[in-house]
Amino acid sequence: MRILLVEDERRLSEAISHILEKQNYTVDTVYDGEDGYHYIMSDIYDLVILDVNLPKMNGFEVLRKMRDEGNSTLVLMLTARSQVDDRVEGLNLGADDYLPKPFETKELLARLKALLRRSQSIEDDVKTIGDIRYDALNYKLTKQGKSVALTNLEGQLLDLLITRKSMIISKDTIIQKLWGFDSRADDNNVEVYIFFLRKKLKYLNSNVSIKTSRGIGYSLEVKTDV
């Protein structure tokens, strides 16, 4: 699960990132509204935590612009403002929830989980393709009672492949989704995690395999009996 945090208070941003990463979220951070908008429009994030008081472009402007352009990414707004009118404005512009500062860690996590639950049913946490079931909450891959644990990045990669199973996913897209724009990850990182996933699918003797389209990317393939 990849989250974008748009917060200009550096210490608060670092604290929130640390909290979320301990909960196995992958977090990218930016510190002004313009960068936040451009990152959001990459469409690689599952949820955005968006502060209202930002330099260059405030949170309301970012939210209005992204919604006007059809971006439906979940947005949790953060603000030091507690007035009802400000909360109403954010919700009317398309925010999915609103959390005034200061807040307790447990409330932030509860609101995030509620938003993510709202966007997909509990059944969607367990995804099936071919003869395997992937439990995205527990990073567990199962075939007929035999299971294997996945790491965070292995799980994110498999989830991406399952979600876009009818598409060939490029290495660039995988890098952006798993490691983010500012990482030093390259094609070799992708190849390593594809190798890890292939080993685990082979361990389960699954009829699901990862197909390489040379020079294009990867996709899932289900072998059927002839």
| φ, ψ of residue 5 in degrees (nearest 5) | -110, 120
Q: Note whether 32 and 95 are same-domain residues.
A: yes
Structure pTM? 0.65
88: CATH: 3.40.50.2300
pLDDT at residue 56 in the model: 92
Instruction: Mark which of 85, 119, 153 sits at the end of a domain.
Output: 119
Identify whether 102 is preceded by a cis peptide bond (ω within 30 of 0). Answer: yes
Contact yes or no for 126/134 (Cβ under 8 A): yes
Q: Note whether 127 and 214 are same-domain residues.
A: yes
The DSSP string of the chain is: -EEEEE-S-HHHHHHHHHHHHHTT-EEEEE-SHHHHHHHHTT---SEEEEESS-SSS-HHHHHHHHHHTT---EEEEEES---HHHHHHHHHHT-SEEEESS--HHHHHHHHHHHHHHHS-GGGGEEEETTEEEETTTTEEEETTEEEE--HHHHHHHHHHHHTTTSPBPHHHHHHHHT-TT----HHHHHHHHHHHHHHHHHTT-SEEEEEETTTEEEEEE----
pLDDT at residue 82 in the model: 61
Instruction: Mark which of 68, 100, 119 sits at the end of a domain.
Output: 119
pLDDT at residue 182 in the model: 67
Gap between the Cα atoms of 157 and 155, Å rounded: 5
Report the domain count for the chain: 2
Contact yes or no for 41/69 (Cβ under 8 A): yes
| φ, ψ of residue 66 in degrees (nearest 5) | -65, -40
Q: Note whether 165 and 108 are same-domain residues.
A: no
Instruction: Mark which of 119, 153, 180 sits at the end of a domain.
Output: 119
pLDDT at residue 122 in the model: 42
pLDDT at residue 202 in the model: 93
pLDDT at residue 35 in the model: 93
- Produce one character per residue of 150-168: b if its CB has 16 or more CB atoms within 10 Å, e if not: beebbbbbbbbbbeebeee
* Residue ranges of the chain with per-residue pLDDT less than 50: 121-123, 226
Q: Note whether 141 and 179 are same-domain residues.
A: yes
pLDDT tens profile 145-172:
899 998 888 888 998 898 887 789 999 8
Q: Note whether 40 and 100 are same-domain residues.
A: yes
* Domain membership of residue 94 as a residue range: 2-119
